[in-house]
Amino acid sequence: MDTKPLSPSSAEPEPPVADDAKLAASSSSPESLPASPLLPESSSLSTTGTRREFPLRDVFLGAKGMYPGTRWLVYLAMGFVIFQLEGWLVLSLRSHVSVLWWRMMIEASMMLAAILPGFVMARIENRPFGDFGLPARRAFGRNFWVGTLWGIGSLSVLMLALRGVGAFEFGALVLHGARIWKFAAFYAVLFLLTGFFEDFLMRGYSQWVLSRGMNFWPAAALLSALFGYIHGGNPGEAKTGLVAAGMIGFFLCLTLRRTGDLWWAIGFHMAWDWGESYLYSVPDSGAILPGHLINSSLHGPEWLTGGSVGPEGSYLVFVVIGALWVLFDRAYPGVKYGVSGTPPPSPLSIRIIGLAGNSRQIFGLKGVKGKILTTKELWSLLRTIVRSNQ
């Protein structure tokens, strides 16, 4: 972006400027205005010497500051550091807690490592944190509970289909009495943390910032492929399960775009995982957890049952995902999410401050305290004001 003042036209000489206006204009030149909070002052101009000294500068920085990919890497780096610090703090508790409670602590740590950097990036982006998919005013509201119903309902359709073709048996109850409710509540909280972690990491700030560089759906495709890939670290996972995880992630991107936030997706995610691990007691991404409700079993060819992956590895899951996409598209036809709202100030923008008393009156800027203008817009405004005050 051009940061130089507009030069007067050679065909039409500049009219004389009043003393007060000259003083006001000179006091508001770029040298006297505060630098942008998003970048150091020296980064507003590019020089050959700077490029030689920092050869990778143009890879990460552009005319408007850090590229979206750079900001994403900053977010991921902060999350990694936070998770390492959390691991160091809770490591001493490892020998004092059960396997399930240790998993709960790990899920909570990963959730915080994904969400806390989002608050930092919200300050850097000059955006409310809710723009990244978790507006507090909608917390655990209608979208969350509707998503929960869709999650448990769609999984039940899949399990009943497997039962219908003889690939799934319910078996007998394993838990009794208060233990039924105890483990039901425990796994609901556990998978709620999982939903917060995975959905905000992959469809929260990451989706928001990458959408600014490559638009919504390319970013959604990239992050969904990454979402499927990282499931490869789960024990017992297979290629079919990785593809299914990526496609479910892509579907959850649709729910983000159509509902405007992540609450629907988090409710769906929690209910789906809760239903697999606890209610139907089948492998979830290759893992069978203790404290499940029934002694169920899967038998038949792996393409049907999913093998060690569980129902997410069954070919039938792709039919369910396709049906989910069609039904959701019809139930939620309007787009409520996007990055086309009021953009944050450019790193080369200038916040008008200190224009008090006579200065604001001279500029005619009463009532615009804190307004954000780019450098070019500011110089254009100053020229117009100076001319109008002749």
Q: Phi and psi at residue 283, in whole multiples of 5°?
A: -60, 140
Q: How many residues belong to the chain?
A: 390
Q: Of the candidates 192, 332, 205, which has an alpha carbon nearest to the alpha carbon of residue 263? A: 192
* Predicted local distance difference test score (pLDDT) of residue 375: 52
* 65 three-class SS: strand
Q: How far apart are CA 303 and CA 241, in angstroms?
A: 11
Q: How far apart are CA 116 and CA 112, in angstroms?
A: 6
- Identity (one letter) of the amino acid at 139? A
pTM of this prediction? 0.73
Higher-confidence position of 31 and 374: 374
User: Of 14-18, 114-118, 361-365, which gets the smallest average pLDDT?
Assistant: 361-365
Q: How far apart are CA 264 and CA 244, in angstroms?
A: 19
Residue 329 burial (10 A CB sphere; 0-12, 13-18, 19+):
exposed
Sign of CA dihedral 362, 366, 371, 376: negative
User: Of 133-142, 242-251, 291-300, 369-378, which gets the smallest average pLDDT?
Assistant: 369-378
Residue 48 in this model has a pLDDT that exceeds 60:
no
Residue 183 burial (10 A CB sphere; 0-12, 13-18, 19+):
buried
Q: Token pair for residue 378? A: 């500011």
Q: How far apart are CA 227 and CA 195, in angstroms?
A: 13
Q: Token pair for residue 343? A: 């953009």
Asked if residues 281 and 155 have their Cβ atoms less than 8 Å apart, the reply is no
C-alpha pair distances (Å), 173 with each of 23, 49, 291, 293, 335? 84, 73, 11, 6, 44
Q: Token pair for residue 13? A: 């000489």
Q: Of the candidates 97, 155, 127, which has an alpha carbon nearest to the alpha carbon of residue 312? A: 155
Higher-confidence position of 164 and 28: 164
Q: How far apart are CA 19 and CA 6, in angstroms?
A: 20
Q: Token pair for residue 381? A: 């405004």
C-alpha pair distances (Å), 14 with each of 37, 250, 377? 34, 58, 19
Residue 189 in this model has a pLDDT that exceeds 50:
yes
Asked if residues 197 and 114 have their Cβ atoms less than 8 Å apart, the reply is yes
Most confident of 32-36, 45-49, 295-299: 295-299
Q: How many secondary structure helices (H) and strands (E) does the chain include?
A: 15, 6
Average pLDDT over residues 200-227: 95
First-last CA distance in the chain: 29
* Predicted local distance difference test score (pLDDT) of residue 99: 87
Asked if residues 256 and 134 have their Cβ atoms less than 8 Å apart, the reply is no
b/e 46-84 (16+ beta carbons within 10 angstroms → b): eeeeeeeeeeeeeeebeebbbbbebbbebbbebbeebbe
* Predicted local distance difference test score (pLDDT) of residue 54: 53
- Identity (one letter) of the amino acid at 358? N
Q: Of the candidates 220, 275, 280, which has an alpha carbon nearest to the alpha carbon of residue 248? A: 220
Q: How far apart are CA 239 and CA 235, in angstroms?
A: 12
pLDDT category of residue 210 using cuts at 50, 70 and 90: very high
Strand-pair partners of 136 = none
* Predicted local distance difference test score (pLDDT) of residue 326: 97
Asked if residues 313 and 241 have their Cβ atoms less than 8 Å apart, the reply is yes
* 151 three-class SS: helix
Q: Of the candidates 255, 267, 249, which has an alpha carbon nearest to the alpha carbon of residue 335? A: 255
The per-residue pLDDT of the chain, averaged, comes to: 79
